[in-house]
Amino acid sequence: MDSQQFREAAHAAVEEIIQYYETLPSRRVVSSVSPGYLAPQLPTSAPSESQPWTSIQPDIEKLIMPGLTHWQHPGFMAFFPSNTTYPSMLGELYSAAFSAPAFNWLCSPAVTELETVMMDWVGQMVGLPDVFLSKGQGGGVIQGSASEAIVCAMVAARERIVARKCEQEGLKGGTRERERREGLIRAELVALGSDQAHSSTQKGAIVAGTCFRTVATKKEDDFAMRGASLKQTIEDCRREGLEPYYLTTTLGTTSTCAVDIFDEIAEVCKEYPDIWVHVDAAYAGSALICEEYQHYSKSFAQFDSFDFNLHKWLLTNFDASCLYVRSRADLTAALSITPSYLRNAFSDSGLVTDYRDWQIPLGRRFRSLKIWFVLRSYGIQRLQAVVRGHIKLGETFADLIRSRGDLFEIFTTPVFALTVFTVRPPMAQRSRDTKAIASPADRPDPTHEDYTNDFTPDAQAQYLFNANRITKDVYETVNNEGEVFLTSSM
Ligand code: PLP
């Protein structure tokens, strides 16, 4: 494809994308294809001859669209929000065009330097304490996902406690004795998270090669992790001969959007300074751009790391997960390896950041571009308005549910834009009925009326479900007791 062919193809692709968004509400939200639908429609091997864009592009509509579930559809209510915007797409376009796997500053200084500035902008926007910004000992880095952020934090936590213990025992680095002792220490480490923490904490513990235990939560606390329960778990682990070294605390759990009691957790963790505390705010962290929620950010001052996904709620497309650490040296001590082929004068000078040392892969994409475009295109005030608007929709939705106490029951206190509710008893039918009104398979394709119907107190369950659609994002989730609930978030 030469420049002229690219110009024509790119214009045609952009036109099709715009057309896609302009007609999106008329599409069916969920794909209706059967497993294995695609392979029979494709050749069994790559073409040996080149094909023009004019023959490739139509296959988007013909072959790909039927197999897409439209996450940006106004009627999409599954899982969690996963937004994108035109400025964000433009960032991706430039990133793909520059295509530099910029692992070191030297590889493309703009990639590193824009990321540092953007992470500081975003950190300030969400009211993080200064310790997490680059002007101090900390800083932010873009990861691909909240799960990757947890793995990085956990490995840094593991190596921090191993190093501390070896130093206390006077063991010098580089000796076989130290290596053996490090292995023994690692074998006794245990990572903690509440029984509501996202599964990525347990997965992180598998990757880090350590044990994992959960801290119990209670429904009467809206499933928030409390200090007393944390302390109990820490002490139980120690009695078992395990050493807690890492804790995930959550702002907005996946099942019910529970917000842990950070002040109590900070108080308990003062007694256990070797425990690295990570705040997982994957979804709800975006709400911290509004001043009314920044008391949460302030309570993170004692913690070691914080992460949230811009790609969930702040108009930036997947992937853009923002990880902040209070000590970048802890992260790089665990993840930095410098073979001769990566050495260069700039890195050796210590004056530049090499983000390869803050993550698992070596290469990295130019993801800060799309963040820059989004922040400039919308500005903080409009982003705040989006978040506040969604929270307001969530409140409206919760009020609708409350107004039909005969049909529905709110299960936990609604938080941010999320409401969790069940269909009222008879209990034996509760799970089945709740699922029935949530399940896309059991309802017709959404129509325009579905979005514009006003809820009336006399409406039946299906009608209420249509009202849910006005909140644009309702999803079902299974709590740890195995019941199915509808949850709404925007
Ligand atoms: N943490 C929480 C609280 C989540 O809700 C999710 C996903 O929904 C994750 C972590 C995992 O996010 P990611 O897909 O970015 O790894």
215/319 same-domain check? yes
Query: Which CATH number do you get for residue 45?
Result: 1.20.1340.10
The model's pTM: 0.88
Which atom of ligand 1 lies nearest, measured to the CA of 283? 5
> In this structure, are residues 153 and 348 in contact, taking their beta carbons and an 8 Å threshold?
no
Mutation to probe ligand 1, out of 196, 283, 286 (largest number of atoms < 8 A from CB) = 283
DSSP-derived secondary structure for 6-34 = HHHHHHHHHHHHHHHHHHGGGS-SS--PP
278/343 same-domain check? yes
Q: Which domain holds residue 195?
A: 100-366
CA of 320 to the centre of ligand 1 (A): 12
Report whether residue 438 contacts ligand 1, using a CB cutoff of 6 Å: no
* Beta pairing class for 408-415 and 474-478: unpaired
CA of 151 to the centre of ligand 1 (A): 12
The Cα 29–Cα 17 span in angstroms is 17
Report whether residue 278 contacts ligand 1, using a CB cutoff of 6 Å: no
Query: Which CATH number do you get for residue 179?
Result: 3.40.640.10
CA of 201 to the centre of ligand 1 (A): 10
Q: What is the mean pLDDT of residues 294-322?
A: 97
Which atom of ligand 1 lies nearest, measured to the CA of 145? 15
Establish whether this prediction's ipTM goes over 0.95: yes
Q: How much is the pLDDT for 78?
A: 79
Q: Per-residue confidence at 432, pLDDT binned at 50, 70, 90?
A: low
Q: Per-residue confidence at 406, pLDDT binned at 50, 70, 90?
A: confident
Report whether residue 282 contacts ligand 1, using a CB cutoff of 6 Å: yes
| Per-residue pLDDT tens over the stretch 231-249 | 999 999 999 999 999 999 9
Whether the per-residue pLDDT at 85 is higher than 50: the answer is yes
445/323 same-domain check? no
Domain count, the chain: 3
Query: Which CATH number do you get for residue 423?
Result: 3.90.1150
Higher per-residue pLDDT: 405 or 59? 59
Whether the per-residue pLDDT at 447 is higher than 70: the answer is no
CA of 284 to the centre of ligand 1 (A): 10
CA torsion, ordered 295, 297, 298, 300, to nearest 10 deg: 130
Q: Residue 402 CB: number of other CB atoms within 10 A?
A: 14
Report whether residue 147 contacts ligand 1, using a CB cutoff of 6 Å: yes
236/327 same-domain check? yes
361/440 same-domain check? no
Report whether residue 411 contacts ligand 1, using a CB cutoff of 6 Å: no
Question: Is residue 90 in some structural domain?
Answer: no
310/256 same-domain check? yes
CA of 146 to the centre of ligand 1 (A): 5
Report the SS3 class of residue 412.
strand
Question: Is residue 346 in some structural domain?
Answer: yes
Q: Which residue's CA is the nearest one to ligand 1's atom 14?
A: 145
Q: Which residue's CA is the nearest one to ligand 1's atom 8?
A: 254
Q: At what angle do helices 146-168 and 176-187 cross, to 10 degrees?
A: 130
CA of 48 to the centre of ligand 1 (A): 41
Express as a percent the part of the chain with pLDDT over 90.
74
How far CA 238 is from CA of 186, 235, 268, 442, 476, in Å, comes to 14, 5, 15, 49, 37
Phi-psi map region of 171: left, alpha, beta (phi>0 left; psi -120 to 50 alpha): beta
Radius of gyration of the chain (CA): 25
Q: For residue 209, what is the enclosing H or E element?
A: none
CA of 198 to the centre of ligand 1 (A): 6
Question: Is residue 74 in some structural domain?
Answer: no
169/29 same-domain check? no
Answer with the one of 51, 68, 85 that is the final residue of a domain. Answer: 68
235/107 same-domain check? yes
Question: Is residue 75 in some structural domain?
Answer: no
Instruction: Please give the mean pLDDT across all residues of the chain.
Output: 87
The Cα 95–Cα 200 span in angstroms is 28
137/61 same-domain check? no
